[in-house]
Structure 1
Amino acid sequence: MMNNQLVFATNNIYKTQEVSAILSPTYSVLNLTDIGCDVDIPETGDTFAANATLKSSYVVQNYHIDCFADDSGLEVEALNNEPGIYSARYSGKRGDLENMQYLLQKMEGVSNRNARFKTVISLIQNETNYLFEGVIYGKLRTEPIGNEGFGYDPIFEPIGYDITFAQMDLTEKNRISHRALAMQKLIAFLKQ
């Protein structure tokens, strides 16, 4: 039986392989490289859902293959949910260390450390857009701890843990993370 093709709007081969293993043999998962898309798809939306949808829509419109895409970031309660959609370039630069240091400066002396990581996945299948959200709540540390992960992981401590994402074993982080939670909802939907 021929399986269905589905594009994951990413260039990350590891993300592609992980999702591919879960959805095989029902779906054959391709990434942007596999379909010859080397465009940096603009993320000009004002929400995670809008940015994810921009990416999945671009692929569907230009390559005529069903697609899913994600957008995610950190939202800090005391900063009115900043950095949010600007998480990857919060400091004005695209650098994990610069963004994390900039956030820590803004949070100096702030007692409310509540934060959450959020991911929204947009799946466009048969011309319908489905959205899947994953959220993990926690708090910000005052200084980075740990060497694993990326982005704000060294300063984010999820509720129920006394370590940061960057101190966590990758398997454990991938089990509880915002991206994992959104991906589980997508996979459950695709396997129906």
Structure 2
Amino acid sequence: MKLEAISSAAFVLASRSNGLDGITFNNFMRVLVYELSIKDHIPDSIRFPLELESFGRIIVPFLSVPNVEWPLLNWEGVKMSNFTRTRNHDQIDCKFPLDENNIISIEVNNRIEPFGTPLLESSFKNIPCNSKIHFIVLNKLVRRFYPNFSRKSYSDFLSKNQNLAKKYVYKLTKNGLESVSGIQNSPDCVPGSIVIFVPLYK
């Protein structure tokens, strides 16, 4: 619960850093690395992959306190949204709408041991279908997913879960968004949505 509370506060604070107009996603990520104590200051810029240029322009709304609804959301010139901490059976921990069709969803994993391949596969299957951006906040990430790639690979997993094929996967570090060892994003398609691992400890 502690990690979930810390994560919720960080997302809300980062969303509010540009005021009621909301904040572009690439700038939101700059603030998030500070709010999650990944960096000790807000950097002037962070690495943002070229293929995610359109995602960088997405406006993250000015979020409410968790599970408290704004009395009015459609004020002219204002971009606001309600931040919800969900029930356990919803499979995710937090979410908020980006627009009528898409949400940002957040899973918080409290396990002490590194987050590995079995957890990746179960988590990915639980990502909401309308999630444009899905965060997985955790303590530690394994060095490589699918280490014995001669037996099984991420491609094998995708072949059985075609709905995940257009999800691009990254990890958030102090430098920005980086590739994840053992996971190959398809160069043959434009990313329809993204998954971002947020390991708080090395």
TM-score using structure 1 length: 0.33
Between 1 and 2, higher relative CO (CA 8 Å, sep ≥ 6) is seen in 2
**Structure 1 or 2: more helix by fraction:** 1
TM-score using structure 2 length: 0.32
Q: Which entry has the higher C-alpha Rg, 1 or 2?
A: 1
